[in-house]
Amino acid sequence: MIKLGLLGFGTVGTGVYTVLKNNKESIRRKVGTELEIKRILVNDLEKKRSVDISRDLLTDNVEDIINDPEIDLVVELIGGEEPAYTYIKRAINNKKSIVTANKLVIARYEEELLELARKNGVSISFEGSVAGGIPIIRPLKESFAANKIEKIYGILNGTTNYILSKMTAEELEFDEVLKEAQKLGYAESDPVSDISGADAAYKITILSSIAYETIVDIEDVYVEGVKGIEAEDIKNADELGYVIKLLAISKNTGKGLDIRVHPAFVSKAHPLALVNDVYNAIYLHGDAVGDVMLYGKGAGQMPTASSVVADIIQTAKEIFYKSPDLNNNNTIISHKIIDISEVYNSFYIRLQVVDKPGVLAKIAKVFGDNQVSLSSVIQKVHLEPAVPIVLVTHQVKESNLKRSINEIKALDDVIGVKNIIRVEEI
Amino acid sequence: MIKLGLLGFGTVGTGVYTVLKNNKESIRRKVGTELEIKRILVNDLEKKRSVDISRDLLTDNVEDIINDPEIDLVVELIGGEEPAYTYIKRAINNKKSIVTANKLVIARYEEELLELARKNGVSISFEGSVAGGIPIIRPLKESFAANKIEKIYGILNGTTNYILSKMTAEELEFDEVLKEAQKLGYAESDPVSDISGADAAYKITILSSIAYETIVDIEDVYVEGVKGIEAEDIKNADELGYVIKLLAISKNTGKGLDIRVHPAFVSKAHPLALVNDVYNAIYLHGDAVGDVMLYGKGAGQMPTASSVVADIIQTAKEIFYKSPDLNNNNTIISHKIIDISEVYNSFYIRLQVVDKPGVLAKIAKVFGDNQVSLSSVIQKVHLEPAVPIVLVTHQVKESNLKRSINEIKALDDVIGVKNIIRVEEI
């Protein structure tokens, strides 16, 4: 028998408890021995729970778990940096293997924790930290191990994907959909981490570190959220043959790593365009496997529990058969990070200009002077003195684009640059 | 250093050699030691090869590999039942771990070979045997281990998917597209295993055995190929909101296993409808993870090599760290197999009838008498005395449908039943 301690008993913790109970027999067969949850750390011992659980299992003292020599495996589901990070370190130092779904702790401290685990002869697994139920951490370490991973495109945040899908399907504005999403529980009451792109940035940091055998500093990831997307941009995208998605992008260009999170135009013909609502997907390109897409529910109680319990099963097998962790590769390859200003992209640009002859010529001249060539220009029908103009550029260096935009903003007849969105040709 | 022997040096063998060479350094880091191909079994020592390879590596004597005590890992890429099956067994008995992409040997002998490997303390891995570069064997054993797998829908044969996609996109007939596919190398000169559904049947047999911890006898899998599909059926499907795909289906209904391969109507709104050309996909439903789809290239030199080398890396790690194979679960759960006659489906039926009043009423009566209710009836415009009629039924037991069809065939004014295709509501 292998005894587990759970740190945290919120949504995912309750899901893990439920999966371990519902599929107890099949999990016992796969591990080779029974798994028993010995103790669960909670904040409030008296709180009413959605599952029927013995009061004796609960504790509000973390020492009951990380100092219990009978517990071999600690499952951290508290989330956030502290106290999760400290608890994980203390548990590893007490020779306990770790399973966690904590993207923040893994994105910031993966290497330190892997090193600590190696030193203590235990393992740390974190499939649940990225893309909920979709297997991606283990596939990157095992199934795609033969490949040089060249590109990863992820739709990694369910909340923003739900919002953008809904804005697209029902032609609504951002704030309306956000409010509805919060009512339905698809968005947090404080959704800033989702909407700002920070959540997706943690996840692409983790995937990049594994894919390129490196350590990516999250500060090096360029991040732009979805707050500025308007219904008009989505409509323009549609007319041009695209949908707008919050993409987490990671490329090993051979000259450095290009890692970023931002809204992007994605061709309607690409499989990622069809990843809607709270679904997530990871589309990657490896030198041998070519293009692969993994698609599923990127969050939620049971999908995340599926990944956490998969890690529990693999870890328990290693403990039971006294096998070392075969995936704790201690190589760190150093890669240059390419600054966003150096990256080439096509851009969608939406302007408001005064309805006067010659305005478009002035704008076109600024772009031309900055080596920005345009692939399409649409002057929209207008109902007011201001005319909306939609431009799409060819591939252009971000710094050249930025310089053009600053010059265009300064033109007399330009009322405003309403939005700039990268067009990602996947 | 870990030394490998390759059995077979055709398309996939050459791909494996290339991947091991191109990504040598990163593979060495991941395994912890270097991998060396010591010997390669070929039929013809003098044959010109597409890769630059030392003549000393080649042998036409299998004993040079399976009797070489320095070789720990044998990679079988001959394909077909014999001599591959015998070589694998002999290598296992000589304490060598096996990596193979042989769907036929695995579908027929998986349990025997796993048992033999257990007895000899070695492992047998076969990611490359199903869906080329898409990881599915290892994910089923590891990533989805926490789930009760309830349904698997696979597009598992690239050749037929290419043909059906092309027929759909260009409104062509089967034979024309087949000929073109053969010219382009997307179909074998003898394509019977693909077209008959046999290839997909081997693969769904393997997936079902793993998903349900059982042994599925391939003879119990109902198989129907794509040869009867006409451009007219594809057009009708399109009008009704569907595409036609060769689906490999496996369901654990709770009352038994329902496993079959046949052409099916798939709603255009479903992600599987967008899996075109030589791409494959596996769409599965687990009780915790919900719906997941894995998508990628289902065949070809490099995608298959990606999976084979992934298995080589994992096996080499196990050998290097003296870890047992943690995925060789020896449980065999016995399941009832549901006969196709007992399965409920909707059906698309295309008839030719004589253009006379009352024909449709007679047909409808036969269906009604057999408890088959219709969800739509389309009488097509006709240019000859024969009128095409397209019917779609509600969910109905296959045996009732079959009985109705036999009675309808016997009706005076029915010229023929041109096609019957199941409608799969995924």
Condensed to tens digits (0 to 9), the pLDDT of residues A372-387 reads: 999 999 887 666 778 8
In a domain, B122, yes or no: yes
- Classify residue B359: in a domain, yes or no: yes
pLDDT at B313: 98
User: Is A336 domain-assigned?
Assistant: no
Alpha-carbon span A224 to A195, nearest angstrom: 9
pLDDT score recorded for residue A286: 98
What order do you get walking across the sheet with A58-59 strand by strand? A58-59, A35-41, A2-7, A71-76, A97-100, A124-125
B406 and B391 in a common domain = yes
Average per-residue pLDDT in chain B?
95
Q: Report the largest interatomic distance among the alpha carbons of chain B, rounded to a whole angstrom.
A: 81
Question: Are B314 and B345 part of one and the same domain?
Answer: no
The secondary element (H helix, E strand) that includes residue A152 is strand A149-155
Kindly identify which residue of chain A lies nearest to residue B138, measuring between CA atoms. Answer: A143
Asked if residue A268 and residue A179 are part of one domain, the reply reads: yes
Task: Say if residue A83 is preceded by a cis peptide, omega within 30 of 0.
Answer: yes
| pLDDT tens per residue, range B331-356 | 899 999 999 999 999 999 999 999 88
Collect all residues of chain B within an 8 Å Cβ-Cβ radius of residue A324.
321, 323
How far is A362 from chain B, CA to nearest CA, in Å?
44
| Contact state of B139 with A139 under an 8 Å Cβ cutoff | yes
B333 falls within a domain? no
| Chain-chain contact of A306 with B288 (C-beta, under 8 angstroms) | yes
Per-residue pLDDT tens digits for A322-343: 999 999 888 899 999 999 999 9
B17 occurs within a structural domain: yes
Q: Do B326 and A329 touch (CB under 8 A)?
A: no
Q: How much is the CA Rg of chain A, to the nearest whole Å?
A: 24
Q: What is the pLDDT of residue B382?
A: 65
**Residues A267 and A313 both lie in one domain:** no
Say yes or no for a CB contact (<8 Å) between A297 and B291: yes
Contact with chain A for residue B364, Cβ under 8 A: no
Q: Which residues of A touch B146 (CB under 8 A)?
A: 19, 23, 27, 305-310, 312-313
Q: What is the model's pLDDT at position A262? A: 98
Which residues of chain A fall short of a pLDDT of 50? none
CATH number at residue A408: 3.30.70.260
In angstroms, the CA B129 to CA A177 distance is: 45
Question: Residue B96 — very low, low, confident or very high, per pLDDT cuts 50/70/90?
Answer: very high
Q: What is the pLDDT of residues B162-172, one digit of tens each?
A: 999 999 999 99
Task: Tell me which chain B residues have a C-beta less than 8 angstroms from the C-beta of A321.
Answer: 323-324, 326
Question: How many CB atoms lie under 10 A from the CB of residue A227?
Answer: 14
A325 inside 8 A of chain B by CB: no
pLDDT of residue B305 exceeding 80: yes
pLDDT at B38: 98
Helical spans, DSSP H, in B171-298: 174-184, 192-195, 198-211, 231-240
Judge whether B145 is closer than 8 Å to chain A, CB to CB.
yes
B77 in the same domain as B11: yes
What digits encode the pLDDT tens for the residues B225-257?
999 999 999 999 999 999 999 999 999 999 999
Judge if B244 and B109 occupy the same domain: no
Q: How many Cα atoms within 13 Å fall on the side-chain side of residue B261?
A: 30
CB contact under 8 A, B23 and A294: no
Q: Is B47 a catalytic residue?
A: no
Residue whose token pair is 């390759």: B6
pLDDT in tens, A55-105: 999 999 999 999 999 999 999 999 999 999 999 999 999 999 999 999 999
Q: pTM for the complete prediction?
A: 0.96
A116 with A198, same domain?
A: no
Show residues of chain B in contact with A139, CB under 8 Å: 135, 138-139, 143
Chain B residues touching residue A273 (CB < 8 angstroms): none
Residues A170 and A204 in one domain: yes
Q: Which residue has the tokens 């067009």?
A: A423
Same domain, A314 and A363: no
Residue B329 included in any domain: no
pLDDT at B69 over 80: yes
Is the same domain home to A185 and A287? Answer: yes
Tokens read off for B278: 């030589």
Mean pLDDT throughout B20-47?
97
* Beta carbons of B288 and A329 less than 8 Å apart: no
Cross-chain CB nearest to B29 (options A22, A213, A309)? A213
Distance from the A154 Cα atom to the nearest Cα atom in chain B, whole angstroms: 14
CATH of residue B173: 3.30.360.10
- Same domain? For B122 and B239 the reply is no
- In this structure, the answer to whether residues A206 and A267 fall within a common structural domain is yes
What is the domain extent for residue A97? 2-132+301-320
Amino acid B379: pLDDT: 83
Minimal CA–CA distance to A132: which of B292, B148, B141? Answer: B292
CB contact under 8 A, A297 and B303: no
Q: How many domains does chain A have?
A: 3
Report how far residue B129's alpha carbon sits from residue B209's, in angstroms, rounded to the nearest whole number: 14
Are residues A105 and A8 in contact, defined by beta-carbon separation less than 8 angstroms? Answer: no
